Amino acid sequence: MNLGLHGKVALVAAASRGLGRAIAEELAAEGASLVVCARHEESLMATRDAIAHATGADVRAVVADVATLEGIEHVAGETLRAFERVDVLVTNSGGPPAGPFEEHDWTAWQQGVDLLLRSNIELTRRVLPTMKAQRWGRILAVTSIAVKQPVDGLVLSNALRAGVTGAMRTLANEVAPFGITVNTLLPGYTRTERVEQLDRARAEREGVLPGDVRRRVEAQIPMGRLGEPPEFAALAAFLASERASYITGQAIAVDGGWIRGLL
């Protein structure tokens, strides 16, 4: 299937590993030019080189922390200077600390707001004018299954990713007349370093082995296994494509059936 992404410019945040990297790899394979960002230079440059070598795509790397306004301005500014536009924006970041409500003071909440909510809002704010001017764009926000079915012990993520969902759903209606779609992608339990970190944290709290936590999680998934990053990235590439021009305002899960709700 030709997704019509050849020659498009995509900015993918937190793309040195995990879901962000998988999305960047998929978009590059479809012919898009890329700007990828992350905090750690060594792993980011290695990712850039690997994607460029595998796909032949034009891949630029910008070291930036999207939890800060300085990082957001830096990566958005470098992208617009290099390509003069952004066709596809993928907002993404690491997750906040696990733990119940009473473990987190307002400092932890504020850090979570900066990491999850402000990064989405401010990155979108900076690239939206070019999308509106060309009357075409795709905005994809990576959130979590927690926005539809809260996960125990993840109060920061549950609350703040839901805020992202509300903002992006509202934006979808506002920019639809400009040919811009806005969707959120809800990864389920996927084989990433983040999920492994959460398994270890939960195992430590409960006094069990991480493998025990993993087996309990897999037992809750109808498909009986964790997802793989490329399976999630395939949805992102489709939603970024010409083929998905009438899909907007949606929150779509890639979770092996974990969410039990109807909608």
Helix (H, G, I), strand (E, B) or coil at 111: helix
> For residues 256 and 217, is the Cβ–Cβ distance under 8 A?
no
Task: Give the DSSP letter of residue 184.
Answer: E
CA–CA gap between residue 84 and residue 113 (Å, rounded): 29
Please tell me the pTM assigned to this model.
Answer: 0.94
Give the pLDDT of residue 1: 67
Q: How confident is the model at residue 210 (pLDDT cuts 50, 70, 90)?
A: confident
CA–CA gap between residue 253 and residue 13 (Å, rounded): 19
Give the pLDDT of residue 136: 98
Residue 109 has pLDDT above 80, yes or no: yes
Q: For residue 210, what are its two tokens?
A: 């991480």
Number of Cβ within 10 Å of residue 103's Cβ equals 12
Q: How confident is the model at residue 182 (pLDDT cuts 50, 70, 90)?
A: very high
Residue ranges of domains in the chain: 9-190+229-254, 192-226
In this prediction, residues 168-185 reach a mean pLDDT of 98
Which of 116, 165, 173 is CA-nearest to residue 145?
A: 165
Give the pLDDT of residue 195: 80
Beta bridge partners, 154, equal 99
Fold exhibited by the domain 9-190+229-254: Rossmann fold (3.40.50)
Residue 6 has pLDDT above 80, yes or no: yes
Residue 134 has pLDDT above 90, yes or no: yes
What pLDDT, in 10s, does the model give residues 221-257? 999 999 999 999 999 999 999 999 999 999 999 999 9
CA–CA gap between residue 74 and residue 90 (Å, rounded): 16
Among 71-75, 101-105, 200-204, which stretch is predicted with the lowest mean pLDDT?
200-204
Residue 76 has pLDDT above 70, yes or no: yes
Give the pLDDT of residue 103: 95
φ and ψ at residue 221, rounded to 5 degrees: -100, 120
Mean pLDDT across the chain, nearest whole number? 95
Helix (H, G, I), strand (E, B) or coil at 10: strand
What pLDDT, in 10s, does the model give residues 8-67? 999 999 999 999 999 999 999 999 999 999 999 999 999 999 999 999 999 999 999 999
